[in-house]
C-alpha cells in the first residue's frame, strides 16, 4: 500500500511547526478529514491519541501512540483500528532562525481489502495534503510566513 514522503521548507520556525503537528487536539479545526480527536496518557515524550477520520460516507476510528523528541521529530504508530500497518514520521530541521525544513513520511496499509481499495486512495490523497494543511494552520495562527524559495519535494 501507499508510502508517501514529502519535504518542504516553510517560513516558520522549527518550534512553531513542531508544536502545530504535536497539537493533535486541534486537528479537527483544520484537517477536513479529521472529525474528532482525543489525547490521553500524556507523558514527557509521548501520549496516546484517538482520531475519527472520515471521507464522504466512510468513517474509521483508530488509536495511536505518539512519541516525540522536541523540537526535532514526531513518530506515530497505531494501537488499534483499521490499519495493518501505519508508521508516520515528522522531522523538523532548522534552516535559519525563521524557517524550517519539514520531512513528512507515512507508510500505511489497512487490514481490510475493502478499506484498502476504497479508503486507501482517499487516505493517500489526504496525506499528500498534510504538510500544506499544517502550513495553512501556521499562517492562520502565526501570520504570514517568511519568504522561502525552496520548492516542495515529493517521492
User: For residue 100, how many C-alpha atoms fall within 13 Å in the half-sphere facing its CB?
Assistant: 23
49 grid coordinates: 491519541
131 grid coordinates: 504538510
42: domain range? Answer: 3-154
Give tens-digit pLDDT for 6-23.
Answer: 999 999 999 999 999 999
Give tens-digit pLDDT for 44-54.
Answer: 999 999 999 98
Give tens-digit pLDDT for 70-127.
Answer: 999 999 999 999 999 999 999 999 987 789 999 999 998 889 888 888 766 776 777 7
Q: Which strands, in side-by-side order, build the sheet including 58-69?
A: 34-40, 46-55, 58-69, 73-80, 83-96, 99-110, 3-10, 153-154
Give tens-digit pLDDT for 73-85.
Answer: 999 999 999 999 9
Instruction: Read off the pLDDT of each residue in 36-59 and give the average, rounded to a whole number.
Output: 94
| Total domain count, the chain | 1
Instruction: CATH number of the domain at 38, please.
Output: 3.30.530.20
Q: Could you give the CA distance from residue 106 to residue 111 in angstroms, rounded to a whole number?
A: 16
Amino acid at each position: 500500500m501507499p508510502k508517501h514522503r514529502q519535504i518542504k521548507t516553510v517560513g516558520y520556525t522549527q518550534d512553531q511547526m513542531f508544536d502545530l503537528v504535536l497539537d493533535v487536539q486541534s486537528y479537527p479545526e483544520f484537517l477536513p478529514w479529521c472529525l474528532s480527536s482525543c489525547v490521553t496518557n500524556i507523558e514527557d515524550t509521548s501520549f496516546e491519541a484517538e482520531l475519527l477520520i472520515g471521507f464522504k460516507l466512510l468513517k474509521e476510528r483508530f488509536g495511536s501512540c505518539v512519541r516525540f523528541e522536541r523540537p526535532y521529530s514526531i513518530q506515530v504508530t497505531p494501537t488499534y483500528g483499521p490499519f495493518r500497518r501505519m508508521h508516520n514520521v515528522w522531522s523538523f530541521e532548522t534552516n535559519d532562525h525563521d524557517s524550517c525544513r519539514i520531512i513528512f513520511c507515512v507508510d500505511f496499509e489497512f487490514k481490510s481489502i475493502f478499506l484498502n481499495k476504497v479508503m486507501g486512495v482517499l487516505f493517500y490523497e489526504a496525506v499528500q495534503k498534510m504538510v500544506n494543511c499544517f502550513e495553512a494552520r501556521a499562517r492562520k495562527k502565526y501570520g504570514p510566513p517568511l519568504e522561502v524559495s525552496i520548492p516542495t519535494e515529493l517521492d
